Each structure stands twice: as structure tokens, then as C-alpha cells.
Amino acid sequence: MDKNQAVAENNKAFQSGVYPDENGHFGPYGGRYVGETLMPALLELEAAYNKYLSDPGFQEEFRALLTHYTGRPTPLFHAKRLSAHLGGAQIYLKREDLTHTGAHKINNTLGQALLAKYMGKKKVIAETGAGQHGVATATVAALFGMECKVFMGTEDVRRQAPNVRRMELLGAEVVPVASGTGTLKDAMNEALRYWVGAVEDTFYIIGSVAGPHPYPVMVREFQKVIGQEARGQILEMAGRLPDMLVACVGGGSNAMGLFFPFAEDESVEMVGVEAAGKGVHTDKHAATLGKGTVGVLHGSKSYVLQDENGQITEAHSVSAGLDYPGVGPEHSMFKDFGRARYESITDTQALDAFKTLCLQEGIIPALESAHAMAQAMIEAKKMGTDKIIVVNLSGRGDKDLGIVDEYLK
């Protein structure tokens, strides 16, 4: 088999259900690295997930909620002024910021909360960084009448105060986590610890394509609606597939949601954008795929940021949703197989892109999404005006106004 054939075979494998295998492995990544006490809960979850994935009743209810509650399909918007301003490729924005609660996180929480309902669980827990996943979980918990606890690092409680208020209004208890750096990794540690003692009646809604099997595949499944819609929309609007997809990568759920339905389309280049924070040459970044090494975090094998003793190191980004020292295992496989390219954008570049999008298109993006925007702008300038880039605008920026104000002062 020559190289091109091998790539084509690989691309087909990505979509055909080869990955993950029955133990949740994406090539060498993924799996289920957890203590014995969590195994029964994960096996119960996997069985329920497999059962309801093909259950027409479940699927119908999920689709109906995505349409009537979330507001799907979200538009694909041709950012003509921005494209002209850059003088390169045509940029199209997949408007996940227009979903109910303002970020792609709602697609996944609806799916998992519905699964919890079908499993007869009355309580849900979640971890959150930027607070968008926490808000989305609190929202669906209220919708289904479930008790909800959200674990959140103390630093993120400070940075994302409006979202804490929203969660409380929605009836959730926000549990501040002061250990470590008081950010997403610590919140996830605490949520996993809490779950061990509460597995009987509690469903853990994980917010990204991370964590032990079946979470990475399950979250991708609930998020792939983004790419399915975008693929149909661009074919209709432009009459062809895009040349490039760009999405930011924290744990990787909005990126995988966009990428996955295009995995077999060899002509479509995929670019995932991590946070370079203060620069990848410093120790203040969250470029897990760019700078990390293979290790285990939160029950899954993937690239992680760690020191020479295997201790997980701190991640940094101006955007709370990106400063995670791990990444979903499927992205690690995409990186190794060359299916996606991963770049990183600094805090300053993201803030500049944030401003540009506000002024050029009247859209205030989440700081996470501003990382994708910044990379897309770099890529667009290198491409001809007949090329097409689809950028996932994963969320809206209301939650970030305090941080942006500090920067602009």
C-alpha cells in the first residue's frame, strides 16, 4: 500500500467505527485507567450508552430537544467583511454561540442528562472550567428535575463569576475546589472522587471528549451534530466541501464535534488550536498536544502536560475553558496519524482576534473561540480568496467581558 492509500484507509477507519475498540482505545490512547470502585459505574454507563444509542425513542427525544430546546440547527455564517479585511480565504462561522446557554456544551449535556433519565438517575454532577459546561449541566438538570452539583476550581469561580451566578439561579450547587491551581483539572479530580462515593444514584456528566471510556466516544457522538450540520450547510451554500476546518481544543469536544463527520473527506484539512498562553517557550501555556508527552490523566491515556517525574503540571490560558493539561484521546490519535494539525495561539493573539471579530462582524466570541479565530485569520491570509475555511465559534463572549476589560485597560 502506498502512502496515499494508507492515509485514505486510515481516514475511512476514523469514521467507520473501528475507533475506539471495545475497550475504548483510539490506537494507543484512551482506555479506562481507574480504580476498581469506578469500574461498575463505567460498565453500567457503557451498557446504557450502547443500548440507547440505537434506541429510536431515545434518539427521537434527543433530536427533538436539540431542535426545540437548544435551537438547532445553528447557522453557518459567511463572514464576508472579515474575509475581505484579511484578503484571503472565505471564512464561514459555525454559530454554536447561538445555542441556548451560549456554547456547544449544551449538545452534550442534553445527551448525557437524557441518558441519566433513561437510566433512572435523579442526581447529576459535573466539573467545569469556563463555567459553560456547568451552566449547560445546571440547565438540563433543571429541565429534567434532577439534583445538580457542579465542581469548579476557586480560580475559575473568580474568573467566571457570571456563570457561577447563572448556575445558582438554575438551582445547582456550585462546589468550589481549592486544591492544586483551583482550575479545571482540580475540579475534575474532585468530581471523580465524589462520584466514587455516590455512583448508586448519581450520573457524572463529563464536559469534554476526555475521561475514561465510554466518555470520549459518547461525548463525540453527542457533539458530532456540529460537523454534520456544517457539512450539509457548506455544501448547500458554497456547493463544495471546505478546504479547512478550524476549532479550539481544550479537552477537544467542540473540535471533535466539527471534525469527525469530515474525517473521510481527505481534501479537508483539520486544524485544532490549543492555548499557548504566555508562549510555548514559557511554562505558562496549555499546549498539550504541542508540548505534552504521553501519560494518563483522569482515567484516560493521551498527551498530557507533565514533568520528568510524571507529575501533571499546571496549564495556563487567559480562557478558562482551554487551560486543561490533558486532551481527548481521539485527538492524540488524529495528531499521530496526521489527520489533524495542532497549532497554538497566545493570550494576546486571542484577545486581538476577539477584538477583530467584534469590530468586523458584530459578534462577541468566547475567548476559547477567539483562539480558533486567531488561527483561522493566520491561515486565511496564506490562502487564495477562492478557498474556504469553516471555523467553529464554540461559544459567546459575555462571560469573558471582565477579563477582556482588564486587558484593554
Ligand X SMILES: Cc1ncc(COP(=O)(O)O)c(C=O)c1O
**Cβ within 8 Å of residue 51, ≥6 positions away:** none
Query: 265: alpha, beta or left, given left = phi > 0 and alpha = psi -120 to 50?
Result: beta
C-beta of 266 vs 352, nearer to ligand X:
352
Give the C-alpha separation, 13 to 333, whole Å: 12
β-strands 29-30, 25-26 pairing: antiparallel
DSSP 219-283: HHHHHTHHHHHHHHHHHHHHSS--SEEEEE-SSSHHHHHHHGGGTT-TT-EEEEEEEEET-TTSS
Catalytic status, residue 122: no
Choose, from 96, 127, 190, 274, the residue flagged as catalytic: 127
Residue 191 touching ligand X (CB under 6 A)? no
* Cβ closest to ligand X, residue 130 vs residue 351: 130
Catalytic residue among 46, 83, 96, 105: 105
Question: Closest approach of Cβ 247 to ligand X, in Å?
Answer: 7
Which of 88, 400 has the CB closer to ligand X?
400
Q: Tell me, yes or no, if 105 is annotated catalytic.
A: yes
Contact 132, 397 (CB under 8 A): no
Catalytic-labelled residue, pool 300, 302, 332, 394: 394
Q: Please say which residue, 199 or 333, places its beta carbon nearer to ligand X.
A: 333
Of residues 251 through 270, those in contact with ligand X by CB under 6 A are 251-254
- Listed residue (197, 205, 334) closest to 263, CA to CA: 334
From the CB of 26, what's the least distance to ligand X, in Å? 16
Sequential DSSP letters for 321-348: TT--S---HHHHHHHHHTSEEEEEEEHH
Residues 340-399 that bind ligand X (CB under 6 A): 366, 368-369, 394-395
Q: Which one, 199 or 404, has the nearer CB to ligand X?
A: 404
By CB under 6 A, tell whether 317 contacts ligand X.
Answer: no
Nearest to 330 by CA among 405, 270, 393, 399: 270
Angular region, 54: left φ>0, alpha ψ -120 to 50, beta rest: alpha
Judged by CB under 6 A, the chain residues 97 through 156 that form the site for ligand X are: 103, 129-130, 132-133
Q: Contact with ligand X (CB under 6 A): which of 79, 192, 246, 249?
A: 249
Smallest distance, ligand X to C-beta of residue 265, A? 21
Catalytic positions are 105, 127, 394
Query: Given the rule CB under 6 A, which residues bind ligand X?
Result: 103, 129-130, 132-133, 208, 248-254, 321-322, 366, 368-369, 394-395
